[in-house]
C-alpha cells in the first residue's frame, strides 16, 4: 500500500494528536515515524480490569462486571488524561485483537468521562513500519463492539470458573492454588500422558540388517518383509532361528525402482507453529519465544532508524498481504530465479482460525538475517532468521527428491536399501536455520537386477517398545491448537501458569505433573468433568468467536453456563473430603530445635521438611537431594537460591566448612562405578543423559531411544 505522508491539518497549532499504544518500546518506535504534532505514549496494557480481591461480577444482575482502575495504574491513567487535555484528537492504537480492543475501549471511556468533546478514533496495524503507521492514521475506524463483548465474556467466564473452584482447592487442599478454564484442560492432558507413561510395559523386539560388500564398499540392507508380511521377532531365539534358515550365498537383487517426490513448501508461521518450531530448533520455551517475538514486533534500533522487524506475533492465520507477496516474489526472482513459481502460493485456512491478522512474516524481506545480524541479540537473530526463512520459502517452488530402492531377496525374505538425493532444490535453497536435520549418508552402490550379492554378516539388534513421549512446550501447544483450546495469545501463559503454580515441572524439556498437580487434576476431573471436557472448552471458544462476529451474546452464554455450574460448586464444597493430610508425609527426621518429628510438606516450590510442632516450632529445612561428593564430608546436598531472582544452585549443608556447590541438580540414581550421585545433562550430541557428579570418575549413562 502506498504511504500517505501528509498528515491531517491542525485546527489549533498549539495542540497535538495523542496516540495511545500498549508498550513503551512500541511507543518509542512509532514516535520516530510521526512528526512534532503527535504525542505517542503507552498504557502498559490493561488499565481498567476486574479487581483481584473479589468476584466483581454481579451474577444476579445480568453478570454485570465491576471494573476498577488496576492497582498501581492510577498514575498512568491520570497521565493519559493530562495529555488528553492538551490534545485535539485521540487515536487508540492498542493491539488489533480482543484484548487490545478492550484496552482501547476502557481507556477511551475513562478519558471520555472527563473530556467528552475530544474526538476519539481507533487505529490498527499489523506491523510497526512507517508506511503501516501513516496508513493506519489516514484510515481510522470506530471500536468494534463484538470484540469488546467477546473479551468481556471470556474475562467473566474465566473469573467465574477461577474464583468459584479455587476456594474449594484452598479449603480442601492448600492455600494459594487456582483453577482455570484452559489451564485445567492442559493439566489433564499432561496428567493423562503421565498415567500412560507409568502404566506402560515395555515389550522386547528385534530387527535384522544384513551387510554386503561390493566395489570394495560395505553397505547394509534392512529386513523389510517375510512372505509378504512385516517381520516380527520377540526374542533372540526367534531371530537366531530365522538367520539359520537363510542361505548366505543366495542374496539376489530382485527389484530396482526409482521414484521422484515433489515436496511443497510450508505456510508462513502462525503463533503456535512458531512456538513449536522455536522449541524444537532452539529449545526455547513458549514464554521465551513470545517475549523475543514481541521485541522484534515492537521495534529494533538499526543505526539512526528504529523499525519493527516482524508483523503481529499473535495470529492463527497463514494469510499474507498482496504487497508482501509482491515484494518476496521480486526478491526470489532476483536471488533464486529457478525457484520462483509462475503464480503466488496460497495456503488453506484452518477450520478454527479467526484470520484477524496476517501470518507472522518479516515487515520487509529485504532485511535479510545476515544484513541485520549486527543489530540483534543472538536469540533475536535465531528467531528472526527462522521467521524470515519460513516466509521466503513459502513463496518458492517445490523441492524434488529422488529415491532409489533396491529389494534384495533370499527365499521368501526381502531386505530393502534405499537412498534419497535432491534433484531440485526448490524452496530448500533459502533454508539454513530451518533446513532438515536429516542427512542421508547411507552407502548404496549401483545394482543390476538379478545380480548375486556378496554377503558379509548379519546385524541383529534388540529393542524395547517406548512409552508415549511426555509433553514438551511444542507438543502441548500442538495439542491445544488441534483441539481448539484457547487462542494464540493464551498458549504461552497457560504453560507458565501450570509451572508457576507448581502443578507441573519442566525436566529435560519435558513437562511432568507434580504430586500437587495430579491431586488438583483428580479433584477437578471428578468434581467438574465438564470444565476439563475438550468438546465443552472448544465449544466455548467457538461461542466467543460467534459473540465477536455478532452471532451470539454474552448474556446467553453466561446464563446457560452459570446455574448448573454454581450448583455443582456448592455441592462439591459440602461433600468433598479434606485432602490436606494426603500431602503431608511422616519422616524419621527429628527436629533439632524441639525434638519432635519432621513432616514432609508441599510448599509453593516443592516439598520440604517442616516441624510437626508448627506453629509453636517453625523449623523448616530443604530436603536433601544426595550425599555430598567431597571426600570425607558427611553433609547433604540441598537446593539453594542466589540473592534476588538468581538461578537455583546446589550446595552442602556443612557450608561454610564445606564449600561444594554445583549448578547441576542431583538425580535419585547412584553412580555404579563410585557410588556418588548422578546429575542430568543435555547437549546436542548425546541429548539427555546422566553423568557422575565426580569429574574424576567420568561415568556417563546415555538415554535409550
Predicted local confidence at residue 675, as pLDDT = 82
What is the bridge-based pairing of β-strands 399-410 and 413-424? Answer: antiparallel
Residue recorded with cell 471500536:
143
3-class SS shares of the chain: helix, strand, coil, % to 5: 35, 25, 40
pLDDT of residue 6: 42
Whether 11 has a pLDDT exceeding 70, the answer reads no
**pLDDT score recorded for residue 605:** 62
From-to residues of CATH 1.10.290.10 in the chain: 271-394
Q: Is the pLDDT of residue 62 over 60?
A: yes
Q: Which residues of 391-419 are buried (b: 16+ CB within 10 A; e: fewer)?
A: bbbbbbbbbbbeebbbbbebeebbbebbb
Query: Residues spanned by CATH 2.70.20.10 within the chain?
Result: 204-264+399-464
Of the listed ranges 47-61, 137-151, 169-183, 666-680, the one predicted with least confidence = 666-680
The answer to whether the bond into 615 is cis (omega within 30° of 0) is yes
Q: Residue 410 has which C-alpha cell?
A: 533370499
Pairing assessment for the beta strands 626-627 and 68-69 based on DSSP bridges: unpaired
Hey, which CATH number is domain 204-264+399-464, 2.70.20.10, 3.40.50.2000, 1.25.40.10, 2.40.50.140?
A: 2.70.20.10
Residue 292 clears pLDDT 90, i.e. is over it: yes
How large is the average pLDDT for residues 231-242?
A: 96
Place of cell 558379509: 456
The grid coordinates of residue 111 equal 478519558
pLDDT tens digits, one per residue of 334-383: 999 999 999 999 998 776 666 668 999 999 999 999 999 999 999 999 99
Q: List the single range of 133-137, 451-455, 489-493 with lowest mean pLDDT.
A: 489-493
* 697 in Cβ contact with 674 (< 8 Å): yes
Contacts of 467 (CB under 8 A, 6+ apart): 196, 197, 200, 202
* Residue keyed to cell 549418508: 441
Q: Is 703 a residue whose pLDDT tops 70?
A: no
Is the alpha carbon torsion for 51, 53, 56, 59 positive or negative?
positive
pLDDT classification of 680: cutoffs 50, 70, 90: confident
State how far the Cα of 522 lies from the Cα of 409, in Å rounded to an integer: 55
CB proximity list for 215: less than 8 A, separation 6 or greater: 445
Whether the CB-CB separation of 220 and 418 falls below 8 Å is answered with no
**Does 532 score more than 60 pLDDT?**
yes
Q: Do the beta carbons of residue 49 and residue 68 sit within 8 Å?
A: yes
Fill in the DSSP letter of residue 34.
S
Please tell us whether the domain made up of 153-200+469-575 is placed in CATH 3.40.50.2300.
no
Q: What is the mean pLDDT of residues 8-33?
A: 80
Q: Give the closest residue to 47 by CA, choosing from 73, 79, 23.
A: 73
Beta pairing class for 606-611 and 48-49: unpaired
Question: 233: which 3 cell numbers?
Answer: 521377532
The SS3 of residue 357 is coil
Q: What are phi and psi of 187, to 5 degrees?
A: -65, -40
Q: Which fold has domain 16-143?
A: Rossmann fold (3.40.50)
- The 10s digit of each residue's pLDDT in 433-478 is 998 866 666 789 999 999 999 999 999 999 999 999 999 999 999 9
User: What span, in angstroms and rounded, lies between the C-alpha atoms of 388 and 368?
Assistant: 7
Q: Are 271 and 314 in contact (CB under 8 A)?
A: yes
- pLDDT, average across residues 674-695: 77
Q: Is the pLDDT of residue 705 over 50?
A: no
Q: Where in the chain is the domain with CATH 1.10.460.10?
A: 153-200+469-575
DSSP string, 638-693: EEEE-STTPPEEEEETTTTT---EESSPEEEEEPTTT-PEEEEEEETTTEEEEEES
User: In sequence order, what E strands does 215-270 have?
Assistant: 217-226, 252-263
Average pLDDT of the chain to the nearest whole number: 90
CA distances from 413 to 208, 252, 399, 443, 537 (A): 11, 11, 34, 22, 51
Contacts of 671 (CB under 8 A, 6+ apart): 677, 678, 692, 693, 694, 697, 699
Reduced to 3 states (helix: H, G, I; strand: E, B; else coil), residue 310 is strand
- Closest to 206 measured CA to CA, from 418, 413, 458: 458
> Residue 125: is the preceding peptide bond cis (ω within 30°)?
no
Lowest mean pLDDT among 11-25, 157-171, 632-646: 632-646
Q: Which of 93-97, 489-493, 517-521, 680-684 has the lowest mean pLDDT?
A: 680-684
Instruction: Calculate mean pLDDT across residues 482-490.
Output: 88
Mean pLDDT lowest for which of 7-21, 292-306, 525-539, 628-642? Answer: 7-21
Q: Which residues are catalytic?
A: 312
In this prediction, what percent of the chain has a pLDDT beyond 70? 93
Cell numbers at 298, concatenated? 515492537
Q: State the CATH class of domain 271-394.
A: mainly alpha
Q: Residue 274: helix, strand or coil by DSSP?
A: helix
Q: Where in the chain is the domain with CATH 3.40.50.140?
A: 16-143
Q: Tell me the β-bridge partners of 305.
A: 302
Amino acid at each position: 500500500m502506498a504511504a500517505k505522508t501528509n498528515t491531517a491539518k491542525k485546527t489549533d497549532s498549539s495542540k497535538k494528536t495523542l496516540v495511545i499504544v500498549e508498550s513503551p518500546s512500541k511507543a518509542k518506535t512509532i514516535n520516530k515515524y510521526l512528526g512534532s504534532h503527535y504525542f505517542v505514549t503507552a498504557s502498559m496494557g490493561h488499565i481498567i480490569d476486574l479487581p483481584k480481591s473479589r468476584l466483581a461480577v454481579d451474577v444476579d444482575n445480568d453478570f454485570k462486571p465491576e471494573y476498577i482502575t488496576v492497582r498501581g495504574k492510577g498514575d498512568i491513567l491520570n497521565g493519559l488524561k493530562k495529555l488528553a487535555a492538551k490534545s485535539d484528537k485521540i487515536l487508540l492504537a492498542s493491539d488489533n485483537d480482543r484484548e487490545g480492543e478492550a484496552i482501547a475501549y476502557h481507556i477511551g471511556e475513562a478519558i471520555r468521562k472527563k473530556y467528552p468533546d475530544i474526538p476519539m478514533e481507533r487505529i490498527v496495524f499489523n506491523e510497526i513500519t512507517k508506511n503501516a503507521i501513516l496508513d493506519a492514521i489516514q484510515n481510522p475506524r470506530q471500536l468494534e463492539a463484538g470484540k469488546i463483548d467477546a473479551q468481556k465474556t471470556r474475562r467473566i467466564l474465566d473469573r467465574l470458573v477461577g474464583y468459584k473452584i479455587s476456594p474449594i482447592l484452598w479449603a480442601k487442599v492448600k492455600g494459594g492454588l487456582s483453577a482455570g478454564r484452559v489451564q485445567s484442560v492442559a493439566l489433564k492432558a499432561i496428567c493423562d500422558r503421565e498415567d500412560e507413561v507409568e502404566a506402560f510395559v515395555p515389550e522386547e523386539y528385534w530387527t535384522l540388517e544384513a551387510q554386503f560388500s561390493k566395489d570394495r564398499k560395505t553397505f547394509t540392507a534392512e529386513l523389510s518383509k517375510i512372505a509378504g508380511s512385516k517381520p516380527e521377532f520377540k526374542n533372540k531365539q526367534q531371530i537366531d532361528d530365522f538367520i539359520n534358515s537363510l542361505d548366505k550365498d543366495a542374496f539376489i537383487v530382485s527389484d530396482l525402482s526409482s521414484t521422484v517426490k515433489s515436496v511443497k513448501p510450508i505456510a508462513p508461521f502462525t503463533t503456535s507453529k512458531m512456538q513449536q518450531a522455536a522449541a524444537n530448533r532452539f529449545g526455547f520455551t513458549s514464554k521465551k519465544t513470545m517475549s523475543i517475538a514481541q521485541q522484534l514486533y515492537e521495534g529494533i534500533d538499526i543505526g539512526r532508524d528504529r523499525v519493527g522487524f516482524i508483523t503481529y506475533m499473535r495470529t492463527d492465520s497463514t494469510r499474507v498481504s498482496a504487497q508482501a507477496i509482491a515484494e518476496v516474489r521480486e526478491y526470489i526472482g532476483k536471488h533464486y530465479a529457478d525457484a520462483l513459481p509462475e503464480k503466488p502460493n496460497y495456503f488453506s485456512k484452518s477450520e478454527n482460525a479467526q484470520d484477524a491478522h496476517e501470518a507472522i512474516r518479516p515487515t520487509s524481506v529485504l532485511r535479510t538475517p545476515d544484513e541485520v545480524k549486527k543489530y540483534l541479540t543472538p536469540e533475536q537473530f535465531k528467531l528472526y532468521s527462522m521467521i524470515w526463512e519460513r516466509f521466503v520459502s513459502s513463496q518458492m517452488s517445490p523441492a524434488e527428491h529422488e529415491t532409489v530402492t533396491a529389494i534384495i531377496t533370499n527365499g521368501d525374505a526381502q531386505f530393502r536399501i534405499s537412498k534419497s538425493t535432491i534433484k531440485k532444490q526448490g524452496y530448500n535453497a533459502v533454508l539454513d536455520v530451518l533446513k532438515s536435520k536429516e542427512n542421508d549418508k547411507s552407502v548404496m552402490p549401483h545394482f543390476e537386477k538379478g545380480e548375486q550379492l556378496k554377503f558379509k554378516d548379519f546385524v541383529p539388534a534388540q529393542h524395547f517398545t517406548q512409552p508415549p513421549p511426555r509433553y514438551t512446550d511444542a507438543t502441548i501447544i500442538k495439542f491445544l491448537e488441534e483441539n481448539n483450546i484457547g487462542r494464540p495469545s493464551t498458549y504461552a501463559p497457560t504453560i507458565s501458569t501450570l509451572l508457576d503454580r507448581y502443578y507441573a515441572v519442566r525436566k529435560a524439556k519435558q513437562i511432568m505433573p507434580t504430586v500437587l498437580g495430579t491431586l488438583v487434576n483428580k479433584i477437578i476431573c471428578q468434581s467438574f468433568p465438564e470444565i476439563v471436557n475438550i468438546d465443552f472448552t472448544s465449544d466455548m471458544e467457538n461461542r466467543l468467536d460467534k459473540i465477536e462476529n455478532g452471532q451470539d451474546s454474552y448474556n446467553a452464554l453466561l446464563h446457560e453456563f452459570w446455574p448448573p455450574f454454581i450448583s455443582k460448586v456448592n455441592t462439591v464444597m459440602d461433600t468433598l473430603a479434606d485432602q490436606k493430610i494426603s500431602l503431608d508425609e511422616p519422616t524419621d527426621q527429628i527436629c533439632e530445635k524441639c525434638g519432635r518429628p519432621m513432616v514432609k510438606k508441599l510448599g509453593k516450590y516443592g516439598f520440604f521438611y517442616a516441624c510437626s510442632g508448627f506453629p509453636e516450632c517453625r523449623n523448616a529445612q530443604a530436603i536433601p537431594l544426595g550425599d555430598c561428593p567431597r571426600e570425607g564430608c558427611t553433609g547433604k546436598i540441598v537446593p539453594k537460591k542466589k540473592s534476588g531472582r538468581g538461578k537455583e544452585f546446589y550446595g552442602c549443608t556443612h557450608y561454610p566448612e564445606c564449600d561444594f556447590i554445583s549448578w547441576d541438580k542431583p538425580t535419585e540414581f547412584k553412580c555404579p562405578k563410585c557410588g556418588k550421585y548422578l546429575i542430568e545433562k543435555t547437549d546436542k550430541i548425546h541429548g539427555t543423559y546422566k553423568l557422575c557428579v565426580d569429574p574424576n570418575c567420568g561415568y556417563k549413562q546415555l538415554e535409550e531411544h
